[in-house]
């Protein structure tokens, strides 16, 4: 079997959480261990980062046994991901015990306020430091204390990431508590945020100020990723091509649906009625 096929088997074993196949690949093909930190996985990611993102501690341990580097990062053009830049916080804390490096993005995500303070004290510019996907610490932080600390030390509340051209509040559209908190702290909102968090008065305010906001569409106008091909984060969070009245109906906010219907042309009202089987 040629090397490329072996690599593909190795990748499949890791992504399918197959510890037996992962160990067999490494034992039977020594070149895999010699090249274990190569960016073979999606988005130019090394095996240890892919396994950590998958949340499988057993696979991670096997890779570490064979020389995987906890300092490894993806070589993604917009900003590399490391072993702590994922949502599996229990695994992250385990990896920190093993020596994984904690940057300000990981510390912000993990609620490590003391570490965030230390990093900012050493480098005040860290509050706006680019990390994975070109995100800044506010994209990762969820705890109010950390968000407030970053803002108090100069974090740009509406700084957009590089890959998706989206603000921390837009990234948090599926995290109502964080999204609302950022808006309270002065972040710019938009019609999709207002609908998704069910804020009827905010929706009303957008319609009053700019009736054309109801014609917004994910993937068009200001809801694109600009020069990047990554696509606006809404494409992943609420769906490509989503429009305000679709989102309101899908989120089951009847008061907002009625409000949008009153300010929509007949063709959109017809679509709304069809969606609701009315």
Beta strands, E only, the chain: none
pLDDT for res 229: 95
Mean pLDDT over residues 116-132, rounded?
Answer: 98
DSSP 71-90: T-----TT----TTSSS-HH
* pLDDT-based confidence at residue 57 (cuts at 50, 70, 90): very high
| Average of per-residue pLDDT values in the chain | 96
Q: Cβ(245)–Cβ(261) under 8 Å?
A: yes
pLDDT at 268 over 90: no
The pLDDT assigned to 267 comes to 81
pLDDT tens digits, residue range 140-149? Answer: 999 999 999 9
| Predicted confidence (pLDDT) per residue in 62-95, tens digit | 999 999 999 999 999 999 999 999 999 999 999 9
**Structure tokens given for 79:** 């900003």
Grade residue 28 by pLDDT with cuts at 50, 70 and 90: very high
The two three-digit tokens of residue 266, written as one number: 């007949």
pTM of the model: 0.93
Q: What is the pLDDT of residue 269?
A: 77
Residues 155, 138 contacting (CB under 8 angstroms): yes
Specify whether the CB–CB gap between 137 and 151 falls below 8 A: no
Predicted confidence at residue 271, as pLDDT, reads: 76
Contact 26, 62 (CB under 8 A): yes
pLDDT digits 0-9 by tens, 94-108: 999 999 999 999 999
Of residues 264 and 207, the one with the higher pLDDT is: 207
Nearest partner of 125 among 85, 153, 158, judged by Cα: 153
pLDDT single digits (tens) 246-261: 999 899 899 999 999 8
Interacting residues of 230 by C-beta distance below 8 A, sequence separation 6+: 78, 133, 163, 164, 165
CATH number of this structure's domain 166-278, picked from the four choices 1.25.40, 3.30.70, 2.60.120, 1.20.1530: 1.25.40
Q: How far is CA 82 from CA 13, 164, 187, in A?
A: 20, 19, 28
20: CB partners within 8 A, 6+ apart: none
pLDDT band at 165 (very low <50, low <70, confident <90, very high): very high
Q: What is the pLDDT of residue 276?
A: 72
CATH class given for the domain over 1-79: mainly alpha
- DSSP assignment string, 118-133: HHHHH-GGGGG---GG
The pLDDT value recorded for residue 95 is 98
Distance of CA 219 to the CA centre of its chain: 17
Q: For residue 230, what are its two tokens?
A: 């990554």
Which segments of the chain belong to CATH 1.25.40.20?
1-79
Instruction: Please report the pLDDT score of residue 265 as a whole number.
Output: 80
Band of residue 48 on the pLDDT scale cut at 50, 70, 90? very high
Asked if pLDDT for residue 270 goes beyond 90, the answer is no
Q: Residue 222, SS3? A: coil
* Residue 140 structure tokens: 């990762």
Answer whether 156's CB lies under 8 Å from 118's CB: no
- Residue 226, pLDDT > 90, answer yes
For residue 275, pLDDT over 90 is answered with: no
């Amino acid at each position: 079997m040629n090397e490329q096929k072996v690599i593909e088997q190795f990748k499949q074993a890791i992504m399918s959480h197959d510890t037996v196949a992962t160990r067999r690949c490494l034992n039977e093909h020594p070149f895999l261990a010699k090249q274990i930190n190569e960016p073979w996985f999606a988005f130019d990611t090394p095996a240890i980062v892919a396994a950590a993102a998958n949340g499988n501690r057993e696979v991670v341990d096997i890779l570490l046994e064979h020389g995987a580097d906890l300092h490894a990062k993806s070589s993604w053009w917009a900003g590399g991901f490391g072993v702590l830049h994922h949502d599996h916080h229990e695994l992250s804390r385990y990896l920190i015990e093993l020596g994984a490096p904690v940057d300000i993005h990981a510390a912000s995500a993990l609620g490590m306020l003391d570490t965030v303070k230390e990093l900012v004290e050493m480098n005040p510019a860290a509050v706006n430091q680019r990390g994975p996907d070109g995100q800044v610490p506010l994209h990762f932080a969820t705890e109010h204390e950390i968000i407030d600390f970053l803002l108090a030390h100069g974090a740009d509340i509406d700084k957009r990431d590089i890959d998706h051209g989206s603000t921390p509040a837009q990234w948090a559209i599926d995290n109502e508590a964080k999204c609302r908190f950022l808006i309270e702290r002065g972040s710019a909102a938009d019609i999709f945020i207002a609908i998704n968090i069910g804020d009827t008065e905010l929706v009303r305010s957008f319609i009053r100020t700019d009736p054309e906001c109801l014609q917004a569409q994910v993937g068009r106008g200001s809801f694109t990723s600009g020069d990047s091909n990554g696509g606006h984060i809404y494409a992943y969070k609420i769906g490509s091509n989503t429009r305000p009245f679709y989102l309101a109906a899908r989120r089951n906010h009847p008061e907002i649906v009625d409000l949008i219907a009153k300010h929509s042309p007949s063709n959109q009202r017809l679509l709304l009625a069809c969606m609701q089987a009315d």
